[in-house]
């Protein structure tokens, strides 16, 4: 699989994210356990087939465990907080517990549960699990750091901040483990709270690491701006502000009015147009070049077709049998 | 290439007043020529790092503080500019490569700086080829950074610092986190760079012995704000950071001082000075009995079937490269660490089975980052907490600390102590209960020669007929000075159990610098030399 045209190193990271999101959307629109199960299974098979050696692809078992936990919790909650009152053909008969929380407010726990109610809980759980696995697939196959290279110039700073935050989490866990282990070497008298002993070295580590990363980026030229007039800078900022405001107002109006109004829609569309102009204008002012820029290739187009087919079938209800 | 005029730099307190009366750097005037290879040295905390950081804008931007004077690089006045305005001219390499990486594969990391500076892709392609060749990282280009060894990571960091055609390279203790092999890789790459590429290099480094013969000049940051620069043989009149070779020359009255091992060896042969036999301490009673101890992580044997007895009154050094199992062995002996088989008996009881408090009383361990054990806000609180926890007379820890480090104002925050003082504090805390076993994991990391000498004296003080001391280290000179017995580990196995005279002598695989110079049987450490 390594050298085929679909190998991860040759496909664009955005392709996997699009496919993952399409699978997640399909899952959220579907109510058939079999379809949901298939989406989850397809996601995991994709990871197993295409993953490479990077650290990101080792997270499969984490997503599987999370998905299983979500299904289990959903079903368990349905059994505990059972709202049905004595169904005709109970699947499971449990004793009922009635709690009186306040005057006139009571809560029923357990009790008999029907196959139908059980199935709907299972479907809800499976839907969430399928979404988790679809997004997990994208995250495992498309390293967020690589995706960073493809973000437009205007969003580069934000994307950098996000990717640093993503990378900080494993470092935090590593230093927490180290400090916890080391703390076993020195005891603590009763009057002393244990928390500062754990938190102070870990925080110090994290802050040191973030500062040294920021220093490194700055020392290597991050944040350097091209030659641009103050006027151009002002216009760019104004466009950005206008874009955000118009998108926010447009979407708000669209959501509060029951029927789609031409005015609301045009405000939102104008906002999007401003956003595109803003991104283009910011890119003009940046110096940055992209080495090893990834272009879409045949493998990407194959996956695009798959993604489009999936979305069409999801919205036209082909998968709702 | 570099001109500093009246450069003054002070760190400031939150209220805006300087932290110390004399500035960290006081009216420094300095010239460095193009292509010069300069070694920057000075005691820990003297301001070596600060000086380097003023040369690429990280000070004061990222360190805080107040800078005055002029920084002129390649004919341009860059005083007060942002670090990214220096980026096309100055490359910077830090102590810990992994914390400094911005991307996650070698190639992306190398080109990152060139991308930020807007270098066209075709030009980047042309630039990386010679750099990759000099640093010998061609085979690593598409590997994830996390899978590289420390030495490889540091070479990638150097390539990344130079890819945009930077004319100045600053390195802030680039080998301090590396073992012998890794440090050798990095230092030999630097020699090649200095001689082949015409880059001006400023290298701040503790492992002076191995580069001193290669550099064009030595710059000393004295710690009182002054900075001097000159020929390597003239700059070491301060014993706080003088390597053994310089110390030896000073003891024997050599003028000028020898800086290369070959030169010193020739002089030694002519003069053949007297030396005394190394004082080794006889083993006392058996304290620890390690029987078929094994540590395995997954399929990897970190320590395989080890039998070892450790005796009181002795310092036993465990030596080996990174990954040879030193740390795993230390933790397994302490009792908290992983073990897959075997026992470690202390007075007939396995350290792993001791109750938590009993283990803390009997076995003291100093981990690689000693400061991880400190968590209170003042030295006084730390000392008091130690007495309370150990249930000893108030003042016990303070007395021990004073013995080890002298009197220090106890209102100071533990994080503001020097690395050597922090180590002494952790030693005092861990030994308040008179533990029978003291384990130190790489204690000399980040210490200058003066702090190492202080630690050697402290270990002499802590030696007792009731205690055995275990020291994991790859610091040959330090081990030569303090150890009575040397155990060599290789891939988790004990390959030698010798006296330091055999283990570090001139005929051994791992000779100390003095052994290399003297080629005399029985001589490994400088305090043996009579002058």
Asked if pLDDT for residue A206 goes beyond 90, the answer is: no
Label residue A145 by pLDDT band (50, 70, 90).
low
Put simply, the chain B residues between 377 and 406 with a CB less than 8 A from any chain A CB are 385, 388-389
Alpha-carbon distance A217 to nearest alpha carbon in chain B (angstroms): 7
Q: What is the pLDDT of residues B273-282, one digit of tens each?
A: 999 999 999 9
Lowest-confidence pick of A91-95, A133-137, B104-108, B467-471: A91-95
Asked if pLDDT for residue A96 goes beyond 60, the answer is: yes
Asked if pLDDT for residue B68 goes beyond 60, the answer is: yes
Angle, vertex CA A199, rays to CA A194 and CA A200, nearest 5: 105
User: What secondary structure letter does DSSP report for A220?
Assistant: T
Label residue B321 by pLDDT band (50, 70, 90).
confident
Interaxial angle between packed helices A298-316 and A13-29, expressed in degrees from 0 to 180 and rounded to the nearest 10: 10
Asked if pLDDT for residue A3 goes beyond 60, the answer is: no
Record: contact B102-A143, CB cut-off 8 A = no
Asked if pLDDT for residue A61 goes beyond 60, the answer is: yes
The pairing of beta strand B76-77 with beta strand B66-73:
antiparallel
Put simply, the chain B residues between 344 and 383 with a CB less than 8 A from any chain A CB are 356-357, 360, 365, 367, 369, 371-373, 375-376
pLDDT of residue A148: 66
Residues of chain A with C-beta less than 8 angstroms from the C-beta of B360:
185-187
Please give, one letter per residue, the 3-state secondary structure of B372-388.
Answer: HHCCCCCHHHHHHHHHH
Q: What is the pLDDT of residues B483-520, one digit of tens each?
A: 999 999 998 999 999 999 999 999 998 899 899 999 99
Record: contact B118-A288, CB cut-off 8 A = yes
Reported CATH class of domain B2-241: alpha beta
Q: What is the DSSP string of A56-83?
A: GGGGHHHHHHHHHHHHHHHHHHHHHS--
The pairing of beta strand B341-346 with beta strand B349-350:
antiparallel
Q: What is the pLDDT of residues B403-429, one digit of tens each?
A: 888 888 888 888 888 888 899 999 999
Asked if pLDDT for residue A217 goes beyond 80, the answer is: yes
Q: What is the pLDDT of residues B196-218, one digit of tens each?
A: 888 999 999 877 877 888 899 99
Asked if pLDDT for residue B20 goes beyond 90, the answer is: no
> Mutate which of B99, B153, B170 to test chain A, going by most A C-beta atoms within 10 A?
B99
Alpha-carbon distance A102 to nearest alpha carbon in chain B (angstroms): 47
Where do the H-state alpha helices sit in B30-70? 48-54, 58-61
pLDDT of residue B46: 82
Interface contact B298, partner A, CB < 8 A: no
pLDDT of residue A56: 54
Residues of chain B with C-beta less than 8 angstroms from the C-beta of A187:
356-357, 360, 389
The model carries a pTM of 0.77
Residues of chain B with C-beta less than 8 angstroms from the C-beta of A214:
62
pLDDT: which is higher, A275 or A285 = A275
Asked if pLDDT for residue B33 goes beyond 70, the answer is: yes
Look up tokens 């204690």; give the residue.
Answer: B443
Record: contact A224-B429, CB cut-off 8 A = no
**Following CA atoms B402, B404, B406, B409 in sequence, which dihedral angle do they give, to the nearest 10 degrees?**
-60
Lowest-confidence pick of A25-29, A66-70, A312-316, B344-348: A312-316
Residue B343 dihedral angles phi and psi, to the nearest 5°: -130, 155
Smallest Cβ–Cβ distance between B102 and the set A200, A213, A286 belongs to A213
Interface contact A170, partner B, CB < 8 A: no
Smallest Cβ–Cβ distance between A291 and the set B58, B124, B146 belongs to B124
> What is the rounded CA–CA span in Å between residue A172 and residue A201?
11
Angle, vertex CA A150, rays to CA A149 and CA A153, nearest 5: 85
Smallest Cβ–Cβ distance between B375 and the set A149, A200, A219 belongs to A200
Q: Which candidate, B189, B162, B161, places its Cα nearest to that of B175?
A: B189
For domain B286-498, which architecture applies?
3-Layer(aba) Sandwich (3.40)
What separation in angstroms does the CA of B405 have from each of B206, B259, B422, B491, B507?
A: 21, 31, 9, 36, 37
Put simply, the chain A residues between 207 and 236 with a CB less than 8 A from any chain B CB are 208-209, 211-224, 226
The pairing of beta strand B341-346 with beta strand B286-297:
antiparallel
Record: contact B336-A200, CB cut-off 8 A = no
What separation in angstroms does the CA of A180 have from each of A202, B111, B273, B323, B336?
A: 9, 37, 51, 22, 12
- List chain A domain ranges: 1-149+293-321, 151-223, 226-291
Question: ipTM of the predicted structure?
Answer: 0.78
Asked if pLDDT for residue A291 goes beyond 90, the answer is: no
Mean pLDDT for A244-273 is 82
pLDDT of residue A1: 39
Q: How many CB pairs under 8 A join A and B?
A: 149
Interaxial angle between packed helices A115-141 and A13-29, expressed in degrees from 0 to 180 and rounded to the nearest 10: 170
pLDDT of residue B481: 93
> What is the rounded CA–CA span in Å between residue B40 and residue B418?
19
> What is the rounded CA–CA span in Å between residue B248 and residue B218?
18
Encoded tokens for B96: 């810990």
Q: What is the pLDDT of residues B441-466, one digit of tens each?
A: 999 887 888 888 889 998 999 999 99
Interface contact B111, partner A, CB < 8 A: yes
Encoded tokens for A98: 């009635």
Interaxial angle between packed helices A60-80 and A115-141, expressed in degrees from 0 to 180 and rounded to the nearest 10: 160
Record: contact A145-B117, CB cut-off 8 A = no
pLDDT: which is higher, B440 or A236 = B440
Alpha-carbon distance A142 to nearest alpha carbon in chain B (angstroms): 13
> What is the rounded CA–CA span in Å between residue B42 and residue B220?
5
Smallest Cβ–Cβ distance between A287 and the set B82, B118, B357 belongs to B118
Record: contact A291-B415, CB cut-off 8 A = no
């Amino acid at each position: 699989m390594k050298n085929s045209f679909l190998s991860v190193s040759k496909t664009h990271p955005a392709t996997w994210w699009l496919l993952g999101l399409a699978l997640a959307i399909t899952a959220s629109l579907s109510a058939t356990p079999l379809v949901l199960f298939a989406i989850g299974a397809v996601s995991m098979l994709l990871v197993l087939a295409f993953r490479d050696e990077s650290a990101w692809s080792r997270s499969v078992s984490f997503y599987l465990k999370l998905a299983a936990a979500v299904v289990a919790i959903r079903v368990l909650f349905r059994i505990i907080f059972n709202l049905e009152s004595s169904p005709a053909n109970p699947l499971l008969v449990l004793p009922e517990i009635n709690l009186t929380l306040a005057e006139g407010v009571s809560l029923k726990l357990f009790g008999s549960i029907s196959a139908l109610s059980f199935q709907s809980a299972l479907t809800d759980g499976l839907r969430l699990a399928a979404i988790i696995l679809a997004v997990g697939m994208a995250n495992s196959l498309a390293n967020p750091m690589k995706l960073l290279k493809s973000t437009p110039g205007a969003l580069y700073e934000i994307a950098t901040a996000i990717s640093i935050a993503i990378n900080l989490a494993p470092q935090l866990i590593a230093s927490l483990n180290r400090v916890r282990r080391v703390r076993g070497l020195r005891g603590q008298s009763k009057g002393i709270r244990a928390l500062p002993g754990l938190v102070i070295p870990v925080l110090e580590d994290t802050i040191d690491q973030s500062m040294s990363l920021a220093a490194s980026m700055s020392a290597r030229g991050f944040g350097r701006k091209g030659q641009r007039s103050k006027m151009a800078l002002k216009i760019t900022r104004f466009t950005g502000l206008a874009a955000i405001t118009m998108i926010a107002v447009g979407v708000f109006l669209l959501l509060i009015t029951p029927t789609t109004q031409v005015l609301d829609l045009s405000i939102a569309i104008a906002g999007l147009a401003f956003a595109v102009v803003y991104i283009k204008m910011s890119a003009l002012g940046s110096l940055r070049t992209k080495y090893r820029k990834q272009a879409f290739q045949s493998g990407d187009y194959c996956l695009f077709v798959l993604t489009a087919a999936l979305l069409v079938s999801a919205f036209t209800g082909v998968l709702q049998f | 290439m570099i001109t500093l005029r009246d450069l003054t730099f002070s760190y400031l307190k939150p209220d805006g007043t300087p932290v110390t009366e004399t500035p960290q750097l006081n009216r420094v005037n300095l010239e460095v020529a193009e292509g010069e290879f300069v070694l920057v040295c000075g005691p820990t905390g003297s301001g070596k790092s600060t000086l380097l950081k003023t040369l690429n804008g990280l000070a004061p931007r990222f360190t805080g503080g107040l800078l005055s004077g002029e920084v002129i690089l390649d004919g341009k006045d860059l005083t007060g500019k942002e670090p990214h305005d220096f980026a096309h001219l100055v490359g910077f390499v830090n102590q810990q490569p992994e914390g400094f990486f911005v991307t996650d594969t070698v190639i992306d990391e190398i080109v990152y700086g060139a991308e930020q500076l807007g270098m066209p892709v075709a030009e980047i392609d042309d630039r990386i080829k010679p750099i990759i060749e000099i640093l010998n990282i061609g085979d690593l280009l598409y590997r994830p950074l996390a899978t590289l060894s420390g030495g490889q990571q540091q070479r990638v960091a150097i390539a990344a610092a130079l890819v945009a055609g930077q004319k100045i390279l600053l390195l802030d203790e680039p080998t301090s986190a590396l073992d012998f092999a890794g440090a050798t890789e990095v230092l030999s790459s630097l020699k090649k760079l200095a001689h082949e590429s015409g880059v001006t290099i400023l290298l701040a480094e503790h492992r002076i012995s191995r580069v001193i013969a290669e550099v064009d000049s030595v710059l000393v940051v004295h710690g009182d704000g002054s900075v001097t620069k000159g020929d390597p043989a003239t700059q070491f009149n301060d014993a706080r950071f003088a390597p053994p070779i310089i110390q030896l020359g000073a003891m024997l009255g050599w003028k000028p001082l020898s800086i290369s091992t070959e030169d010193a060896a020739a002089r030694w042969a002519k003069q053949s000075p007297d030396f005394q036999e190394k004082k080794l301490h006889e083993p006392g009673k058996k304290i620890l009995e390690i029987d078929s101890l094994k540590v395995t992580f997954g399929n990897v044997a970190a320590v395989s079937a080890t039998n070892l007895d450790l005796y009181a009154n002795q310092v036993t050094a465990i030596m080996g490269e990174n990954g040879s199992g030193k740390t795993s062995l230390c933790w397994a002996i302490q009792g908290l660490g992983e073990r897959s088989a075997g026992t470690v008996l202390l007075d007939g009881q396995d350290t792993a089975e001791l109750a938590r408090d009993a283990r803390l009383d009997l076995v003291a361990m100093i981990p690689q980052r000693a400061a991880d054990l400190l968590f209170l806000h003042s030295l006084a609180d730390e000392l008091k907490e130690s007495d309370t926890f150990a249930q000893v007379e108030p003042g016990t820890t303070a007395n021990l600390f004073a013995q080890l480090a002298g009197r220090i104002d106890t209102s100071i925050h533990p994080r503001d102590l020097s690395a050597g003082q922090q180590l002494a504090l952790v030693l005092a805390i861990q030994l308040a209960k008179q533990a029978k076993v003291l384990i130190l994991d790489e204690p000399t990391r980040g210490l200058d020669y003066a702090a190492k000498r202080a630690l050697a004296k402290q270990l002499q003080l802590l030696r007792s007929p009731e205690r055995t001391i275990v020291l994991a280290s790859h610091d040959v000179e330090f081990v030569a000075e303090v150890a009575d017995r040397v155990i060599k580990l290789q891939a988790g196995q004990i390959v030698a159990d010798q006296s330091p005279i055999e283990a570090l002598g001139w005929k051994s695989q791992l000779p100390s610098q003095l052994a290399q110079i003297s080629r005399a049987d029985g001589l490994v450490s400088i305090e043996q030399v009579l002058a």
